[in-house]
Amino acid sequence: MVSARKTLNISSSGGNSLSYISDESKRSNKWKYVFFLLIPLIALLVFFSVNEVMYRNFLITLNEWEIRYDTFPVTFSSSVSENIREDVKTQLLRIEHNGKKRFSFENDENAIKITLASEEKSLFTDYLIPVGHFYWIENSISRDEIVSREIVVQEGELEFISAVLEKHFDEDFKIIEKEDVLSYLKENEESSLSFVTLESLNHKYQVLYLDDSYFLDDLEGGLVFHIGVDEGFAPDFLVNVIKNNTKNLYSTFEPNDLLKINMSGVTALSRNLAFKIEESGDPAYPAQYIADFLGDADLVHTSNEVSFVPGCQPERSMRFCSHPDYIATLEAINANVIELTGNHNNDFGAQYNTKTIEMYKERGWGYYGGGLNEEDAAEILFKEKKDSKIAFIGYNYYDTIHNFHANLAGEDRAGANSFSFEKMERDINEAKEKGAFTIVTFQFEECWSYPPEDVIYPPCYKPLSNPDQREVFRTAVDYGADIVIGSQAHQPQTYEVYEEKPIFYGTGNIFFDQIPWIGTRQGMILSHYIYENRLLQSRITTTLYDDDMRPYVTEDDDRELLLQLLRDARY
């Protein structure tokens, strides 16, 4: 039997007081104190075990000289491109403490290895995109054809691209390196192609369809790859450090992040086309074959040259009007950017031009290149979508230089925006100062020299020499325009890259009645893909209409004929 031990406590006041505490009770209280101290300590250790940065900061608070901050070697496999290596290095070399780097880059057999990886181990995902030159007529490649083609890549990219191709194809490839890939592609169209990453893609390349998939509309048009860490060489906390510091370096591409703009040429819902519309009983008749393609964009543009006039009846003359019901054609293609630089909008009086503009405004559509009066006509149309800001600027060059004031806007008269070099320079400067990607369009002089029969007439595919169309359009680029387009052409005209910027001298008809000549039945739709104000592509889609005057997308011989004519007219 254990007896309780008694303890005598004497108070400081000199009085005596007795307290009796058992040994068993004292032991119980001691373990309670230990238990309550261990709980926060264990929680702190668990927290620091998953958060290296907080642990390091905690040690700094306690005693800075006790910090252990090791440097870990990192290396790259040959399958990682030089561009990616430099980007990753830049990110990881920023991590340091008191001047000591967390990572070094050296060849060490025990180094953390960054390489092509599975999706599960991916730091980031990217794509190889098949491309040719912007001037190429060919615009597609099949997976089977890739094996037989010469693949030209930028110097330093051979092993990287070879490794990605090996992951997708069980074949050997002929891959060569060139310092100037674009020049090589331009000269070797039929025998070569290239692959670039999204970061390297620009409008001087032409994205090729891959097995009928176009990368900027469908990810199946590219070859996916993943860059990751070989985790066998790296502690988990270091893998997390690398992931956290490279996760925003490249992001998985989604077409929805792109701003897509479809731009077409002349719309004139009048004359013989109006007779066809009336016969069909469908006010959207002209768009029946093209609506789905043309309307598939964030911004859909056309240059409507003819105002809507109540009671308008079809007639075969050079004085044009459209029945208000025909606006259904523009609605069918999802039009929301209307160019008003044309020279027929005042044919039945400026008052109907005014009413037509009000119809656009009621539908929430933007307009430019013309307006309710001189001030309104000169306004730049700004559109902001998907992290891009676009400026549309348009001029009626033709009526200005010929002094045909009836079609131009006045102080109290609707009409087209007049042209001057001073105005153009001022407008482009304003757009660029506001951070906008700038598209400039013209109603320029037209080619009137059509042949007496339905034969090809090459002179009309060229830029005009008098007045000098090349000089005017190139001057717009010199002033800062990002894309320049001729909306006036009833027949498509050639295109080029000038000072790194694309110029399209004429897009041709989209909705009109000029069926006697093949040149005026041909047309182009331009699809601009813009990401954060950077032009990735301007894709050309060729069109044609027949006696029924309903344009459709052309392929094979019809497509190649037009693009070959435009190529011949370039020089």
DSSP assignment string, 270-338: -HHHHHHHHHHT-TTGGGTTTHHHHT-SSEEEEEE-S-B-TT----SSSS--B-GGGHHHHHHTT--EE
Stretch among 90-99, 105-114, 466-475, 488-497 having the lowest mean pLDDT: 105-114
115 in Cβ contact with 77 (< 8 Å): yes
Amino acid at 305: E
Q: What is the pLDDT of residues 205-215, one digit of tens each?
A: 999 999 999 99
Name the class of domain 115-254: alpha beta
74 in Cβ contact with 104 (< 8 Å): yes
What's the CATH fold of domain 258-569?
A: Purple Acid Phosphatase; chain A, domain 2 (3.60.21)
Tell whether the model's pLDDT for residue 19 goes beyond 60.
no
Average pLDDT over residues 476-480: 98
pLDDT of 38: 66
Q: How many CB atoms lie within 10 A of CB 421?
A: 11
Tokens of 353: 């031009």
Helix axes 469-479, 421-433, angle to 10 degrees: 30
Report the alpha-carbon distance of residue 24 to residue 171 in Å, rounded: 81
The helix/strand/coil state of 524 is strand
Q: What is the pLDDT of residues 413-468, one digit of tens each?
A: 999 999 999 999 999 999 999 999 999 999 999 987 778 888 999 999 999 999 99
pLDDT of 272: 97
Nearest to 190 by CA among 155, 144, 147, 139: 139
Do the domains spanning 115-254 and 258-569 agree at the CATH topology level?
no
Percentage of the chain with pLDDT > 90?
72
| Residue ranges of domains in the chain | 115-254, 258-569
Tell whether the model's pLDDT for residue 224 goes beyond 70.
yes
Q: Which residue has the tokens 């007219």?
A: 569
Average pLDDT over residues 156-167: 91
Local confidence band at 47 (pLDDT 50, 70, 90 cut-offs): low
Tell whether the model's pLDDT for residue 250 goes beyond 70.
no
pLDDT of 118: 85
pLDDT of 27: 55
pLDDT of 161: 93
pLDDT of 492: 97
Q: What is the pLDDT of residues 50-102, one digit of tens each?
A: 555 555 554 445 454 456 788 999 999 888 888 888 989 999 999 999 899 99
pTM of the predicted structure, to 2 decimals: 0.85
